[in-house]
């Protein structure tokens, strides 16, 4: 019997454990201090009412013989895929209902999609990076190369023609940097992928935060249907982090190595996944309806205002940052060339504010720091006041 020794190649990620340890120690030693957490990557506002009502009705359906539901279709109920397709249409992107699969979220999808590709592919990720892309490919034993996102490219790594990659993970708006690719930038990635016979796995988990004309879907970009897979979810869009519902979009014409990619993904899902529950699919369709969109957009607007408040403070302090405009994340350069952990300790002990050290997301995160706008307004305002007081010269 042998275990998967690729697991030995995973880099232990102590980031959130180390943050919790330092915060707990500080709070224990200073019980009178009101520590504010601006490091959270989870939403805090409750589900839109329309989703709650649909969940309740869906649960009632399961309790009656006439409306009971067993296993759902592997690809998700048609009315939910129609709701996703209509949602795409609302921002100008056409995707067919037969190109959509309803799933339990973008984390599992980004971790599972690799099942359909050979181990022999070279994977490219941008650095800093959402760690799931890296760890899932290490588990599969694939070679990973990194494209540097840094201050020189405003944390938007671009393709390098001298590098050959087969699978490219892009996340825009990005976690952790908050930076969002423009149309022209994404077009360069699409052209690179088509030229190199590569596939782009595009994580659009934060598309609902976009306020400018940055593409909300890779499929807004010409040529993407020939090279891209999109992953998205209702987690950050509509507060579904605990409810769990996502979707993948794979154009019917996407083929590689003589195989149809949608068919491979369908086969993978039909083999290893039995679908999203009826009440949750009902809730997903409800939040994607025009009335539902109105409700979740109010929550997004709340987080966006928090982000604006943080961004304004960073502007006043003259601190370089990305994000905040199209994203709940703000990615800032630690002042006075401090290291990420040094700045973490300073903020914790002198301002009683918790953020996330950038180096937890990759080598290019060293010296950077992530703040999020998922907290409540009052705490965000107070945290910003303390940060300004601490850092003003
Ligand atoms: N993709 C990115 C870039 C994320 O930041 C997150 C969550 O933080 C996810 C995917 C996970 O989303 P889900 O809740 O749909 O699994």
pLDDT digits (tens, 9 = 90+) for 190-208: 999 999 999 999 999 999 9
Distance separating alpha carbons of residues 251 and 97, to the nearest angstrom: 10
Q: What mean pLDDT do residues 48-70 have?
A: 98
pLDDT score, position 392: 85
Q: How far is the CA of 304 from the centre of ligand 1 (A)?
A: 18
| Whether residues 346 and 267 fall in one domain | no
- Measured from the Cα of 246, ligand 1's closest atom is 15
Looking at ligand 1, which residue's alpha carbon is closest to its atom 5?
A: 175
Rounded percentage of the chain residues whose pLDDT exceeds 90? 97
Query: What pTM did the predictor assign?
Result: 0.97
Ligand 1 pocket, Cβ-based, cut-off 6 angstroms: 41, 105-107, 130, 171, 175, 203, 205, 233, 235, 241, 246
Mutate to test the pocket of ligand 1, among 41, 173, 175 (most ligand atoms within 8 A of CB): 175
Same-domain pairing of 270 and 160: yes
CA of residue 156 to ligand 1 center, whole Å: 19
> 183 and 95, same structural domain?
yes
Note down the domain range covering 337: 13-47+292-391
Report how far residue 203's alpha carbon sits from residue 232's, in angstroms, rounded to the nearest whole number: 6
Please say if the pLDDT value at position 12 is more than 90.
Answer: no
Q: Pick from 210, 160, 201, 205: which is nearest to 181 by CA?
A: 210
- The whole-number pLDDT of residue 269 equals 96
Is 239 contained in some domain?
yes
The 3-class SS string of 4-69 reads CHHHHHCCCCCHHHHHHHHHHHHHHHCCCCCCEECCCCCCCCCCCHHHHHHHHHHHHHHCCCCCCC
The radius of gyration of the chain's CA atoms, rounded to the nearest angstrom, is 21
Ligand 1: atom nearest CA of 130 is 3
- Same domain for 326 and 382, yes or no, is yes
For residues 175 and 150, state if they share a domain. yes
CATH code (residue 385): 3.90.1150.10
Query: 81 alpha carbon to ligand 1 midpoint, in Å?
Result: 20
User: How many whole angstroms from 371 Cα to the centroid of ligand 1?
Assistant: 16
In a domain, 59, yes or no: yes
Provide the pLDDT for residue 324. 96
The CA-CA-CA angle for residues 210, 48, 203, to 5°, reads: 35
């Amino acid at each position: 019997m042998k275990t998967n020794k690729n697991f030995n190649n995973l880099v232990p990620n102590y980031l959130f454990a180390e943050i919790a340890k330092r915060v707990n120690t500080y709070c224990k030693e200073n019980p009178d201090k009101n520590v504010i957490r601006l490091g959270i990557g989870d939403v805090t506002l409750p589900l839109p009412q329309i989703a709650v009502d649909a969940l309740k009705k869906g649960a009632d359906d399961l309790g009656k013989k006439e409306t009971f539901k067993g296993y759902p279709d592997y690809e998700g109920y048609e009315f939910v895929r129609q709701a996703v397709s209509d949602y795409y249409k609302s921002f100008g992107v056409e995707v067919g209902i037969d190109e959509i699969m309803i799933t339990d979220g973008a984390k599992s999808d980004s971790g599972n999609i690799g099942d359909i590709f050979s181990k022999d592919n070279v994977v490219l990720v941008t650095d800093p990076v959402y760690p799931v892309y890296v760890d899932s490919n290490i588990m599969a034993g694939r070679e990973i190369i990194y494209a540097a996102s840094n201050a020189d490219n405003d944390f938007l790594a671009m393709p390098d023609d001298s590098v050959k990659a087969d699978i490219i993970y892009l996340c825009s708006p990005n976690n952790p940097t908050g930076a969002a690719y423009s149309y022209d930038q994404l077009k360069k990635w699409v052209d690179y992928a088509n030229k190199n016979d590569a596939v782009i796995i595009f994580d659009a988990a934060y598309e609902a935060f976009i306020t400018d004309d940055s593409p909300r879907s890779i499929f807004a970009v010409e040529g993407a249907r020939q090279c891209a897979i999109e992953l998205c979810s209702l987690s950050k869009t509509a507060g579904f982090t605990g409810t769990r519902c996502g979707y993948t979009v794979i154009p019917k014409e996407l083929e590689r190595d003589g195989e149809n990619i949608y068919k491979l993904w369908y086969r993978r899902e039909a083999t290893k996944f039995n679908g999203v529950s009826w009440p949750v699919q009902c809730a997903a369709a409800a939040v994607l309806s025009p009335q539902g969109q109105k409700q979740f957009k109010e929550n997004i607007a709340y987080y966006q205002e928090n982000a604006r408040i943080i961004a304004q403070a960073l502007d006043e302090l003259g601190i370089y940052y990305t994000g905040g405009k199209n994203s709940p994340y703000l990615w800032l350069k630690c002042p006075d060339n401090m290291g990420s952990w040094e700045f973490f300790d300073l903020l914790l002990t002198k301002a009683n504010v918790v953020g996330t050290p950038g180096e937890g997301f990759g080598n290019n995160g060293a010296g950077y720091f992530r703040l999020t706008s998922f907290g409540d307004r009052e705490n965000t305002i107070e945290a910003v006041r303390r940060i300004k007081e601490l850092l003003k010269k």
